Structure 1
Amino acid sequence: MKSIPKQAADRKLQTGLVAAAEQLRNAVDALSFADPVTHIYNPLDYAWDLHQRYIAQAAASAHVLFLGMNPGPWGMAQTGVPFGEIAAVRDWMKIRGDVEKVENEHPKRPVEGLACQRSEVSGRRLWGLAQDRFQTPAAFFRKHFVLNYCPLVFMESSGRNRTPDKLPVAERDALQKCCDQHLRDVLALLPWTHLVGVGAFAETCLKRVTNDSDGTAEIVRILHPSPASPAANRDWAGTATTQLEQAGVW
């Protein structure tokens, strides 16, 4: 069988990822959420340009998928990139672009795009590990891709973040239906060998979505890099590296 040239294979994957993201964006935009959620950001809307530029880094040779929960206010909410710490996106991945105005913006959570002066610790840790180990984005993306399960940021009136797992059951179920379908669509694009849940929530999503499939990918869990986790504040990079090595990912 004649193999597909690398550039053509990469473009096919990237086209599939864009189409899946568009479908997810439209699906979650049709949902509604009640108090205590007062503000919702969807970076697949206002940071769509940056998200597409991120997808353009994806390679068809990738076989390890990292899955996070949902955007942080100073990461993907600013850049449209999963775990999208500003410096990693702007200076390491060399992604440039503008974000559009956010409707119903929370005064404590302004969206400033790549000009944002805040740094997301989780993203700094995850992409920092990728940079330290692989040096260049091309080397990392040759074997890996990073995705968020849910694209939405939920905030209460105080500005406090509310994670998807804390939503009321009906809202959570409707959101889960959209996000599960997106994850299935992404999993169908490549013959993944390892699916890495960044934290327990993501691992649960991977197990649920792959439960009825015939996929052979191994599901792995690593410690979430959030500073809210005491364990993550004690050499997260070393812990995650050991977990990935023991699982045979690295």
Structure 2
Amino acid sequence: MSDDLVEISRLLSAEVQDLVFGPPVTHVYNPLDYARAPHRAYLERYGGTPKSVVMFGMNPGPWGMAQTGVPFGEVHFVRDWLGIDAPVERPEREHPKRPVEGFRCRRSEVSGARLWGWPGPASALREAFFDRFFVANYCPLVFMEDSGRNRTPDKLPSAEAQPAVRSLRSGAPERGARAAPDVRDR
């Protein structure tokens, strides 16, 4: 099943890679592309078995998945708790105020620290968490304005958002279904 998620991720990355966004968006990062190695490690390590709960974030934050390739990818938790530390390249067109430093990034992704801190620090708790849960982002792209401000997908103009939404709608349910094929009434 993790091979399916890796392939879905690869296809989604290719599909959204060439989408064009106008002002106020000046830079778009695709961590499924330049942070492919840690993203793949995450999918292979934690996406290999059916889950009862799939949690989707909206899109990557500049100090989380944009740096590590892992959803809600706060560097400390990804490296030390999830055990993932793989090479991260740089996006083709990098925003000067939001450089990609990979696992050398010293900034903290607050939402990632909250999410990954929730199950607790013990490795047994990590395993129990991933027995039931899988975490992904609905949209894999990071949108930034000239100031470096993160722009969420819901703030994109409709004409630009529609092609992205079509791609994401085709990928998100399949990612969820692959991660959680055992969903039933509880």
Q: 1:36 aligns with which of 12, 24, 36?
A: 24
In structure 1, what is the equivalent of residue 115 of structure 2? Answer: 126
Equivalent residues of 2:6, 2:44 under 8 A apart: no
Is the 2:81–2:123 Cα contact (8 Å) retained in structure 1?
Answer: no
Contact 2:29 2:141 in 1 (8 A): yes
1:115-135 per-position Cα deviation (integer Å, ceiling 9, x unaligned): 100001000001100235874
Q: What's the CA shift string for 1:151-208, capped at 9, x where partnerless? A: 0000011111110000010111111111111112123323243xxxxxxxxxxxxxxx
SS of equivalent to 2:169: helix
Residue number among 7, 18, 43 corresponding to 1:55 in the alignment: 43
Question: Contact 2:12–2:167 at 8 Å: present in 1 too?
Answer: yes
- Alignment correspondent of 1:109: 98
Instruction: Provide TM-score, normalisation by structure 1.
Output: 0.70
Q: Secondary structure at the match of 1:21?
A: helix
The one-letter amino acid paired with 1:87 is: H
Normalised to the residue count of structure 2, the TM-score between the two structures is: 0.93
Within 5 A, what are the aligned runs for 1:1-150?
13-57=1-45, 58-131=47-120, 135-150=124-139
Letter in 1 for 2:110: V
What is the one-letter code of the residue matched to 1:63?
S
In 1: Cα distance, 2:163 partner to 2:182 partner = 27
SS of 1:32 mapped into structure 2: coil
Please, what is the CA RMSD of the aligned residues?
1.7
Structure 2's unaligned 5+ residue stretches are none
Counterpart Cα distance in 1 of 2:182 and 2:58: 19
Greater Rg by CA:
1
1:110 Cα deviation from its structure 2 partner: 0.7
Percent of paired sites with the same residue: 52
Tell me how far apart the structure 1 counterparts of residues 59 and 176 of structure 2 sit (CA, whole Å): 18
Aligned length: 184
* C-alpha contact 2:50 2:182 (8 A) present in aligned 1: no
Contact map agreement 1:49 1:97 (CA 8 A) in 2: yes
Q: For 2:10, give the aligned amino acid.
A: E
Corresponding residue of 2:153 = 164
Question: Is the partner of 2:118 in helix, strand or coil?
Answer: helix
1:142 CA drift (Å): 1.2
Structure 1 unaligned blocks of 5 or more: 1-12, 194-215, 218-247
Residue type of the alignment partner of 1:64: V
Matched, 1:154 2:169: no
Q: Name which structure has the greater RCO, CA cutoff 8 Å, separation 6+.
A: 2
Q: Quick one: distance in 2 between partners of 1:62 and 1:102?
A: 32
> Equivalent residue of 2:33, what SS?
helix
AA of the residue aligned to 1:125? R
Number of the residue aligned with 1:191: 181
Contact 1:71 1:82 in 2 (8 A): yes
Answer yes or no: is the 8 Å Cα contact 2:35–2:68 preserved in 1: yes
